[in-house]
Homo-oligomer: A and B are copies of this chain.
Amino acid sequence: MTKMTLREAITDAMRVEMRLDPNVILLGEDVAGGRGGSGGEGEKSGGVMGLTAGLYTEFGAERIIDTPISESAIMGAAAGASLTGLRPIAELMFADFFGVCFDQIYNQAAKFRYMFGNQKGAPMVIRTMIGAGVGAGPQHSQAVYPIFAHIPGLKVVVPTTPYDAKGLLIQAIRDNDPVIFCEHKMLFAEEGEVPDEAYTIEFGKARVVCEGNDVTVVGIGRMALLAEKAAVILSKEGISVEVIDPRTLSPFDMDTVLDSIEKTGRLAVVDESTPICSYASEIASIAASEAFSSLRAPICKITAPHTPVPAAPNLEAAYVPSVERIVAEVRKISNYKSKI
């Protein structure tokens, strides 16, 4: 066990798995840290966020591959290589960039197994950065995972803790289907205890962050952290909140959520993405169908508004669901009295 940041946990996952499996490669823009130029072959920084720091030095240019800015070629190359013997990790620097390369992800990699009649899936991982919080504006701050989760054939991971990030990323690399691994930029500095060796966390198993009896709150990715904080505040008011971190959106562990609703009768979902066809809507809709008889209050969706992410820091702060908003909304449904 070592105390490390989520950023370090991600790097560590790649490092330990690349040591174990020579077929794992990493490709993307500046993942080595920049080839060419006047700097020579010295120490490389390992990506704009330093997430791949040290990997080039250890694994060399054949396995840590800097690419031109050509996301379709990067994703397609990873997909093609995954069909022919490798387990590539392809970095999509910001998830917002999916628009220039999504065909290779959703029409190619994600569909191989099905449309080729199960000859093979695409064992590749797309690591990508999501989320608002650093003032980067409308094209660098989005939480577009609902679009990924919508696609049959893709698996979608949204880790919250360093421990989960490492275990889920190793699982993603070993998985025989394409996985999009969404790293929230505001979580990189989160710290936690992480085992040194390789370990995996099964997909489709939610983590119950804290138990409670009055309201079930599902918090997606970073929102699980905020929900946890809200739960502490609410508990002081006598409202007992069960917080669930799904960890993966596709597959999604609805059983854990349904079990919780059976107990609490109340559901709130906190999702940083925009509301329409969001994962908050997805969870709410399943609950409305499968937990109908348990529900004792309207389902509450706490999401970003249906707007782009504004650059201004005050607007951005208002855009992202906050602890205060979660507290207020959960309080409301916990006070809800059925008219019947």
Which residues of A are in contact with B by a Cβ distance under 8 Å?
72, 96-107, 110-111, 114-115, 137-139, 146-147, 149-153, 250, 252, 273-274, 276-282, 284-290, 292-293, 295, 297-301, 305-308, 310-311, 338-340
Complex CA gap A105/B147 in Å reads 15
Q: Which residue of B lies closest to A116 (CB)?
A: B138
Are B279's CB and A277's CB within 8 A?
yes
Give the Cβ gap from A65 to chain B, nearest Cβ, in Å: 23
Are A96's CB and B102's CB within 8 A?
no
Sampled A-B contacts (21; CB under 8 Å):
A72-B100, A97-B103, A99-B104, A100-B102, A111-B138, A115-B139, A115-B311, A147-B147, A147-B150, A150-B277, A150-B278, A151-B274, A152-B307, A152-B308, A153-B308, A277-B278, A280-B285, A281-B284, A282-B285, A288-B298, A292-B298
Give the Cβ gap from A66 to chain B, nearest Cβ, in Å: 22
Which B residues lie within 8 Å of A111 (CB)? 138-139, 308
Which B residues lie within 8 Å of A279 (CB)? 277
Which B residues lie within 8 Å of A298 (CB)? 288-290, 292-293
Which B residues lie within 8 Å of A115 (CB)? 137-139, 308, 311
Which B residues lie within 8 Å of A252 (CB)? 276
Give the Cβ gap from A73 to chain B, nearest Cβ, in Å: 12
Give the Cβ gap from A289 to chain B, nearest Cβ, in Å: 5
Complex CA gap A286/B278 in Å reads 12
Are B103's CB and A107's CB within 8 A?
no
Are A285's CB and B274's CB within 8 A?
no
- Residue with the greatest number of chain B CB neighbours at <10 A, chosen from A104, A153, A276, A293: A276
Give the Cβ gap from A88 to chain B, nearest Cβ, in Å: 19
Complex CA gap A146/B282 in Å reads 12
Q: Which residue of B lies closest to A139 (CB)?
A: B107
Which B residues lie within 8 Å of A292 (CB)? 295, 297-299
Which of B153, B295, B299 is in CB contact (< 8 Å) with A285? B299
Are A96's CB and B100's CB within 8 A?
no
Q: Which 3 A-B pairs have the closest CB atoms?
A: A99-B103, A288-B288, A284-B285
Give the Cβ gap from A263 to chain B, nearest Cβ, in Å: 17
- Residue with the greatest number of chain B CB neighbours at <10 A, chosen from A149, A287, A288, A339: A288
Are A288's CB and B285's CB within 8 A?
yes
Which of B99, B105, B293 is in CB contact (< 8 Å) with A338? B293
Q: Which residue of B lies closest to A147 (CB)?
A: B147
Q: Which residue of B lies closest to A281 (CB)?
A: B285
Give the Cβ gap from A257 to chain B, nearest Cβ, in Å: 14
Give the Cβ gap from A44 to chain B, nearest Cβ, in Å: 29
